[in-house]
A = this chain, B = another copy of it.
């Protein structure tokens, strides 16, 4: 079935606020077997919203609208839906009471405007909002379904997951079985090649890859059948996939790579310190974006200058002048110095050329050495990365985290 998404708000059209809702919703719709044909972002003008709804109704079976359900006079999504389908707005007494209750509980006055949020097109089914006063609604028109949800993601997402998704599942004749993998260390087209045999063998399964910032999410879906044959096939398929590309898979539940490293360190009672040259704190910054990371992360060094490598990590200055700061030997020496200084049982060292300048014929931009230490185990690998400075820095940190994750799994 074909779905359209309409995001309402002048701040979305002029770029003041970045729309994240449509991306979230389209991913959910696609993995639940709907095709998304058109996404519209529209300003807070009645005629523009009404036109957009009419256009989407003419091309889709399912419409998801977000935004414009607030109490102020520029929140006009209710009126636009009513206009577009010709159902008058009617007051809902229990929602009105709920609005009064919420505002009283928060010791706020209840401006008359707030009651606008109690009006819905005739025949609407109310979608409860646990996190705000803006209730959503579902209204049907010419056997098309129009879902209307508030704009703030923290209100929209639970309403979409708790109400809209179960309803959408009900509209389909069959349900889907889904498995998704988080993958790092392989490009999207190389991954596709690895999977080609499976894609050709398992024709009833759809394979979707989604690449972002060096990660890939692989989602495999199939229609569920009554004799559970597809579920059995999925098990066969995922066994084969995990055998073939298991090295690149770091999570099957959608967590980030740094979260997986955090979990592994915590579980094994390990502590980590980092020493970064060309990534300049990006690795540490990813780790410290995780709440509670202080349980396992001791701290780090950004040894950007040669002098700081020697001073803070005891890398002999002769080693740097003989081998170059970007070398296997210096990465190893940083790792050993890091251990000596911090006494942590895990360490990561990084030294490389992120560019755009600093490359040479033998060590071009993108040459990076990544070292990991786990107790007595030391490993340094060389990378040859392409792309701009930020991409090289990002891929380096992903590689480093994955290297440590794999070492902990295989050696602890």
Contacts and interface: CB of A to CB of B under 8 A. Distances in A.
Interface of A: 13-16, 18, 22-23, 26-27, 30, 35-43, 45, 48, 51-52, 55, 58-59, 208-212, 274, 276, 278-285, 287-289, 291-294, 297-305, 307-308, 311-312, 341-342, 354-357, 389-390, 393
A282 to B, nearest CB: 4
Contacts of A393: 288-289
The count of identical subunits is 2
A15 B308 contact: no
A285 B281 contact: yes
Contacts of A16: 209-211
B357 A291 contact: yes
A58 B300 CA distance: 58
Contacts of A15: 23, 26-27, 30, 210
A30 B300 CA distance: 44
A176 B99 CA distance: 45
A297 to B, nearest CB: 6
A381 to B, nearest CB: 22
Contacts of A390: 289
Contacts of A294: 304-305
The 5 closest A-B pairs by CB, nearest first: A280-B288, A281-B284, A281-B281, A299-B308, A300-B302
26 contacts: A13-B37, A14-B27, A14-B208, A15-B27, A15-B210, A16-B209, A16-B211, A22-B41, A37-B43, A37-B45, A38-B41, A39-B41, A276-B281, A278-B288, A280-B284, A284-B285, A288-B302, A288-B304, A291-B357, A297-B304, A299-B302, A300-B304, A301-B301, A301-B302, A301-B312, A312-B341
A38 B42 contact: yes
Nearest to A300: B302
B40 A48 contact: no
Contacts of A22: 41
B287 A298 contact: no
A38 to B, nearest CB: 5
Contacts of A304: 288, 293-294, 297-300
Given A58-B51, A274-B302, A285-B285, A355 B311 contact: no
Contact of A282 (B52, B209, B281): B281
Given A51-B59, A282-B281, A311-B341, A13 B42 contact: no
A396 to B, nearest CB: 12
B39 A40 contact: yes
Given A308-B342, A311-B341, A43 B51 contact: no
